[in-house]
Amino acid sequence: MGINFHLTRKHTIVIKNSFQSNAKSLYIHCSSKDNDIGEHWLAVGQTIAWSFRRLEYSKTLFHCYAQWGNKIKRFNAYEFDGTTKECCTDKGRVTWFLGENGLRAVETYPKNILQDLELTKLNWD
């Protein structure tokens, strides 16, 4: 008898350049073991986003490298066992705001059906 894998609900990750100055673009590169989201240079206010479905019982991890001038950070944009574990219910998404004061992950909802929920804050290295 084979193992039966089921796909779970769709997860969406958004990365937004929330810096106040357009003096430099925000460089971002995200990937998982199986998917490379690619390299992006975001101006203030710009975003990148991707959606995926993870296999039930899998340990999905999307990690990112971000740089804005001398501010650098490696972080997990989505990790099954981490701060984003319970995210994305009711069509929610994890939105990462990267700005002068660090990185903030917020579970956001379209059309404000539920209140946004802050998941974590990180400082630049």
CATH number, domain of 76, equals 2.60.40
14 forms bridges with which residues in the sheet?
49, 95
Mean pLDDT in residue range 33-50: 95
Question: Is residue 55 in a domain?
Answer: yes
Per-residue pLDDT at 4 exceeds 50: no
Q: What are phi and psi of 90, to 5 degrees?
A: 55, 45
pTM score: 0.82
Greater pLDDT, 89 or 17:
17
Is there a contact between 61 and 71 (Cβ–Cβ < 8 Å)? no
Question: Is residue 47 in a domain?
Answer: yes
How many distinct structural domains can be found in the chain? Answer: 1
- Going by C-alpha positions, the residue among 74, 65, 30 that lies closest to residue 48 is 30
9-23 confidence digits (pLDDT tens): 677 899 999 999 888
Question: Is residue 2 in a domain?
Answer: no
Q: What is the separation, in whole angstroms, between the first and last Cα of the chain?
A: 49
Question: Is residue 1 in a domain?
Answer: no
Confidence bin at 55 (pLDDT 50/70/90): low
59-85 confidence digits (pLDDT tens): 778 999 999 999 999 999 987 665 555
Domain span at residue 23?
7-122
Distances (CA, A) of 40 to 2, 16, 22, 79: 40, 11, 15, 21
